[in-house]
Copies of this chain bind each other. A is one copy, B any other.
């Protein structure tokens, strides 16, 4: 593939700041992850929380993904409307959300996770009222302390779910968010420790006559280990498709940077820096700072909500473009409404970021 800089030089977005996807890199990433999953005999359930774009999700399913994950009810609704036939909501569903998910089920396979009998009861009531079945995963906490039952409490919740109408116990979810961005050596150690625990939990469940259909979890950072562990039946990776500074800097992930932000130089009155039109409302500050790709060698510093400094100017002239790689892709995409997907010749296609949070 031609150099990134030569490619970017041919891209002229219609407006700025603009999120631009290098189509060849995206498609390579999609193919690479699908191939790895296929080789490992593991289903890919790409995580749509990252890209929030049903067009991209459909490409993942067309390539072999069994469906999408999402984090919110709004995302699930948008993905179903956007043609995805199988969605798993991986974050806990608030009470208002179960009736809305139940309304999606039927032609679409809808699954959610739970970590308490009350959540299971709410899901059951919604499913019964809608005359559908919701697939229910027991969410197991791998030590993040955020959501999920302790491994020792999983069997009891499985029993509750199996006793409720409208629910089908689909399996176990375990998502190790706290492992995804560890450096390779630490990541391997943490992954191994947790996977041993997970194997133990599964053995306990099977001894009790409870056989989980799917073991769903994992992510971009731990994907290689997830696929080799022989435990997960379904991988939930998301960021691999587009990548960002945070994942790229781990150094060992076999995916290409595919997402870039173009900004215009809007003020150039200082020798030390120029000002571009990308600030806190275009580049989410969570994670490492964005990396400046063009001009090479310069740094970016936010200068408010709609401004950023490029230091030094490095040849960036007023009216021209600068290019950055976002620090953390997921929350940055949540600030935007469109991805501009660019072919190698610079031709652009607009993909709406349509899987927005519920707002009504």
Contacts and interface: CB of A to CB of B under 8 A. Distances in A.
B266 A72 contact: no
Given A91-B306, A264-B95, A285 B286 contact: yes
Nearest to A270: B145
Interface residues of A, number: 68
A70 B277 CA distance: 14
Contacts of A338: 359-360
A187 interface: no
A359 B335 contact: no
A269 B115 contact: yes
A281 B334 contact: yes
A289 B71 CA distance: 23
A336 interface: yes
Contacts of A286: 280, 285, 302, 305
- Report copies per complex: 2
Contact of A92 (B15, B177, B273, B277): B277
* Residue of A266, A302, A358 ringed by the most chain B CB atoms within 10 A: A266
A35 to B, nearest CB: 28
Contacts of A268: 116
A251 to B, nearest CB: 23
A259 interface: no
Interface in A178-230: none
Interface in A328-360: 330-331, 334-338, 350, 352, 356-360
A318 interface: yes
A94 B266 contact: yes
A269 B149 contact: yes
A162 to B, nearest CB: 20
Interface string A52-76: 0000000000000000000111100
A207 B261 CA distance: 45
Interface of A: 14-17, 49, 71-74, 91-97, 115-116, 118-119, 122, 141, 144-150, 177, 264, 266-270, 273, 275, 277, 280-282, 284-286, 302-307, 309, 318-319, 330-331, 334-338, 350, 352, 356-360
